[in-house]
Structure 1
């Protein structure tokens, strides 16, 4: 039975990303080249890109990156609607998991890498609660990255697995390349962690240059 660990990257396309979107697209292209050229990793992982601003859109359907020749780039648009991103992610995962299981795949809990540089302009917590509902078996492990004007508390709340905030030791463009590099490493290391017995561990770097990991607060 084929084993599949799905990865989703959810990227801010709001107007505040105008000076940074090219660096992010470049980083994602390098990720595509690295993962798509590794047959072992590409065979065991799938990758999806979702962009969001006032609304959200699937820019790359969940795919084996070795089969993808090109991807639709991120494009700067309007506001910052986290809720639209979380709604689309939930619905997309539901459909993807059902399709993979129908193909006879053994599917592991998805990983979702969320990136934003600004505070949301819309209510989002009800959609986030639906996405992270403990009763939903396919709820993703979320790794959240923030930079620019986003609040640390917001990013810490979204990252259910790990959260990182830019520490301004490097410029935004370099930080976005480091985000893409961390995502690439996570896909490669997680994909190669699968055993014949069916065990797999989501691997996320403990340290990402230009970012500080946020610790969860006790409540």
Structure 2
């Protein structure tokens, strides 16, 4: 039986502006799973939920052990990037997941939210949804990863813990793995 769990939420913009970057996202997820699989301690603790969004948001993989194969992320032919709906869905999903894990008497570490986008939101009210997410009791550690021609101020606002940029040569899988490993190995993060 697992004594504690680190819930991780990979949130990916799949709108038209991200089409050229989806293969990189899928490669990053495979790389992350490989890193987790190689570390028994991490494999036992890390759970991964995958959420995609464009004009609407959708959970494509519920919270499962991170070593299980994740759904391939596919782009949508939607021009909108509704950050607000993604943050609202995440707030509800994280609350439900944490409650479910605690009901199973599993100690839950602070969740990690890894937000992947070019940072170009099409809904002007998204900061309010972000504020609601970060105000919740089980507020996740927020990490942003920018791909393409990013909106740096938007990503800086979202990635309150860290911001990585693909244009700097950072690979998504390693950024995700290093962020999670830093948390799993840090006992004060419980």
Q: TM over 0.5, yes or no?
A: yes
Cα distance in 2 for partners of 1:47, 1:116 equals: 18
**How big is the shift at 1:142?**
0.3
Task: Answer yes or no: is 1:126 the counterpart of 2:115.
Answer: no
SS of residue paired to 1:18: helix
Q: Structure 1 residues 169, 71: closer, same or farther in 2, change over 3 A?
A: closer
Cα distance in 2 for partners of 1:185, 1:104 equals: 28
Segments of structure 1 that go 5 or more residues without pairing to the other structure are 202-219
User: Which position in structure 1 is the counterpart of 2:184?
Assistant: 191
User: Which position in structure 2 is the counterpart of 1:46?
Assistant: 47
The answer to whether the 8 A contact 2:119-2:154 is kept is: no
User: Which position in structure 1 is the counterpart of 2:63?
Assistant: 62
Cα distance in 1 for partners of 2:91, 2:62 equals: 14
Over the aligned positions, Cα root-mean-square deviation in angstroms equals: 1.9
**How big is the shift at 1:76?**
0.8
The ranges of structure 1 where at least 4 consecutive aligned residues each deviate by more than 4 angstroms after the TM superposition are none
Cα distance in 2 for partners of 1:76, 1:60 equals: 16
The answer to whether the 8 A contact 1:31-1:181 is kept is: yes
Tell me the matched-pair count: 186
**How big is the shift at 1:33?**
2.5
Task: Answer yes or no: is 1:154 the counterpart of 2:154.
Answer: yes
Could you say which structure has the larger radius of gyration?
Answer: 1
Task: Answer yes or no: is 1:137 the counterpart of 2:140.
Answer: no
**How big is the shift at 1:37?**
4.1
User: Which position in structure 2 is the counterpart of 1:75?
Assistant: 74
Segments of structure 2 that go 5 or more residues without pairing to the other structure are none
Higher relative contact order (Cα pairs below 8 Å, separated by 6+ residues):
2
Larger proportion of helix: 2
